[in-house]
Chain A
Amino acid sequence: MMAFYSDIWRNRDLIKFMVDGQQRAAVVKSVLGWLWHVLVPLSQAAIYFFLVAIVFSAGGARGDLTFITIVMGILHYALLYHMSSFVQPAIYGNASLLLQIKIEPAVLIAAGFFRSIRIWFNGIVVFFCFFFVLGESFTLKAMFYPLILLLFILLTWMIGLLVATAGVFLRDLERLLPVILQLTMYASPVIYIVDFYPEQFTYLLLFNPIASVFALLQWSLLGAEIDVLYSVSVVLIWIFAGGVVSHAFYRWGRTRFTKVF
């Protein structure tokens, strides 16, 4: 595993240049440029708020569903969607490059991942603008926010590594992954508060690591009441298990990628 990360570190200049170049190329001839990466999730948040909190009159009985909850959920969850767009095709999308130059495929995965992080980070900044404009304030629990974010990033990296490797052998994943992410979003407290979970199933539903991450985010920034130790344990277990599986799978796959192309 050390060799894997040292390859990424050794190629940090290439990764940075690829991320810069791809990002600039993506916004060429676009009037709003990178703003689209924020405007799209924000408009989604507005639609979900309208549907969930107004049309279906959710909230009230078991807690308040506020606009900021949905903005937080959607703008944080965007990392997984970016991962689906930029990390999942990182290897097979660069097939011609990998067939001409000896380059560690992990470098391409890392480039896709950092591109996702970079776009996502803009959304996080916008979220905090909304957070303060809408009158929210930090409590002591907010100190744990960077740690929760770190756990989320690690979890996303493991998922990214897994799907980028699997995507080479199974192209259906390109179509399947957005559907899985959509379902995971509905199964996690992204567009609703964690209090909406039926009490008897709360622990079961929070065994989903994405659900636990978003429950922790709501606990940290919005004061939701959750079993923090349980959620943190779930996320750590998944990161560890996902780390072992995804790295082993990548090691198995990396000698086969160019032959599959």
Chain B
Amino acid sequence: MRSIAGDEPGSQRYFDMVERIKLENVSIRFRMSYHKIASTKQMVSEAYRRFTQRWTPDYFDALDSVSLTVNTGEIVGVIGRNGSGKSTLLRTISGIYQPDKGKISVSGKISALLQLGTGFNTQLSGRENIILGGLTLGLDRQDIEARIENIIEFSELGDFIDVPMQYYSSGMMSRLSFSIVVSLEPDILLIDETLSVGDLEFQNKSQTAMHRMIEQATCQMIVSHSLDTIQDLCTRVILIDHGKLLFDGEPKHVIKEYIKLTQ
């Protein structure tokens, strides 16, 4: 990995900050999907092949010896091509994946916004799904009750809030989901491509809310393919390719390297 200019580890600004996320040589391996065991037949067949032909399934490294530190006050953008390991990195930091090698330490409560609408029950009303979604995201019932009116107001769903979600359009569902998300007060915020939803008017509103949320969190990591967003929001950017951390440094420099990589 190469560091590019700016806030390099060791600079005065780093000494003033507290480490919130630290990854030390973190690696994650996945079986190739065509070698995943899906049935007893496959399991027996694999055991037989391993025994008779000394066969081993194919693996790929979704993350390969990634070392990274994120400090208080930093907004780290994660960029890279499709399948480079960006989402895997966020999932690993949030604890969804356990690393095969290396160590992760996190100081603070993580909120990971990896996909909108996760955990909703479409048979329930929007109001009930606010409670379900909030509980799933780790809020307690009283917290949700206290925020529910603000969430409803922000979502602009009006009377639809008491209608079962199966009758919502996808835009309405995203708006409600986003409204729950921006009501959170996270310590460490991990965002994966959820920065704008809904129509143009709602998009402007959601951008403002998201920026406010980002300001409130002590540190953030944002995965996005929108280089403008990354350039505007982030204080530091990392570039990942084939599971390896290639560059880490100032946004404009790392973005330049990314553009070179894709050409």
B118–A13 contact, CB under 8 A?
no
B91: chain A residues at CB < 8 Å are 99, 258
Q: Given A24-B124, A96-B118, verify A258-B96 contact (CB < 8 Å).
A: yes
Contacts of A22 in B (CB 8 A): 121
Distance in angstroms from B219 CB to nearest chain A CB is 17
Q: In the bound complex, what is the Cα–Cα distance between A251 and B84 (angstroms)?
A: 30
**Nearest residue, chain A, Cβ from B87:** A99
**A147 located at the interface, meaning its Cβ lies under 8 Å from any Cβ of chain B in the complex:** no
Contact for A100 among B36, B40, B114, B121, CB less than 8 A: B114
Q: Are B118 and A97 in contact (CB under 8 A)?
A: yes
Task: Assess whether B97 is in contact with A258, with CB atoms less than 8 Å apart.
Answer: yes
- CB atoms of A101 and B124 under 8 A apart: no
* Interface set, chain B 14-71, CB cutoff 8 A to A: 30-31, 36-40, 43
Most buried by B among A13, A98, A260: A13
Neighbour of B40 across the interface among A18, A170, A258, CB < 8 A: A170
Which B residues are in CB contact (< 8 Å) with A18? 132
Give a binary string over A94-135; 1 marks a CB under 8 Å from any B CB, 0 the rest.
Answer: 001111111100000000000000000000000000000000
Alpha-carbon separation in the docked complex, A24 to B129 (Å)? 13
CB pair A14–B136 under 8 Å, yes or no, is: yes
State whether the Cβ of B123 lies closer than 8 Å to any Cβ in chain A.
yes
Contact partner of B119 (CB less than 8 A), chosen from A11, A13, A97, is A97
Determine if A17 and B131 form an interchain contact, defined as CB atoms under 8 angstroms apart: yes
- Is B140 part of the contact surface with A, judged by Cβ < 8 Å? yes
A152-173: CB near B (< 8 Å → 1, else 0) gives 0000000000000000011110
Contacts of B115 in A (CB 8 A): 100
Binary interface encoding of chain A residues 21-45 relative to chain B, with 1 for a CB under 8 A from any of its CBs, else 0: 1101100100000000000000000
Confirm or deny: B1 has a beta carbon within 8 angstroms of a beta carbon on chain A. no
* B40, B97, B110, B135: most-surrounded residue (chain A CB, <10 A): B135
Q: Is the CB of A101 within 8 A of B114?
A: yes
A-side contacts of B224, CB under 8 Å: none
The residues of B that contact A99 with a CB separation of less than 8 Å are 91, 96, 114
B-facing residues in A209-261 (Cβ within 8 Å): 255-256, 258-260
Chain A neighbourhood of B37, CB < 8 A: 169
For the residues of A in contact with B, the DSSP-based class is helix
**Contact in complex: A102, B94 (CB < 8 Å):** yes
Which of A11, A21, A169 makes the CB contact (< 8 A) with B121?
A21
Enumerate chain A residues within 8 angstroms of B40, measured Cβ to Cβ.
170, 172
* Complex interface: chain A residues within 8 A of B119 (CB): 97, 100-101
- Contact between B43 and A102, CB atoms less than 8 A apart: no
* A-side contacts of B94, CB under 8 Å: 102
Give the residues in chain B near A17, CB-CB below 8 Å: 128, 131-132, 135
Within 8 A of A (CB), among B79-109: 91, 94-98
Q: Is B230 at the interface (CB under 8 A from chain A)?
A: no
B124: which A residues are within 8 A, CB to CB? 21, 24-25
Q: Which residues from chain A contact B136 at a C-beta distance below 8 Å?
A: 14, 97, 101, 103
Residues of B within 8 Å of A25, CB to CB, are 121, 123-124
Bound-state Cα–Cα, A100 to B194, Å: 13
Can you report 27 A-B residue pairs in the complex whose CB atoms are below 8 A from each other? A13-B141, A14-B136, A17-B128, A17-B131, A17-B135, A18-B132, A21-B123, A21-B124, A24-B123, A25-B124, A28-B123, A98-B96, A99-B96, A100-B112, A100-B114, A100-B115, A101-B96, A101-B118, A102-B112, A169-B37, A171-B39, A255-B98, A256-B98, A258-B96, A259-B31, A259-B97, A259-B98
* Residues of B near any A CB (own CB < 8 A): 30-31, 36-40, 43, 91, 94-98, 110, 112, 114-115, 118-119, 121, 123-124, 128, 131-132, 135-137, 140-141
Query: Which A residues lie at the B interface, using CB under 8 A?
Result: 11, 13-14, 17-18, 21-22, 24-25, 28, 96-103, 169-172, 255-256, 258-260
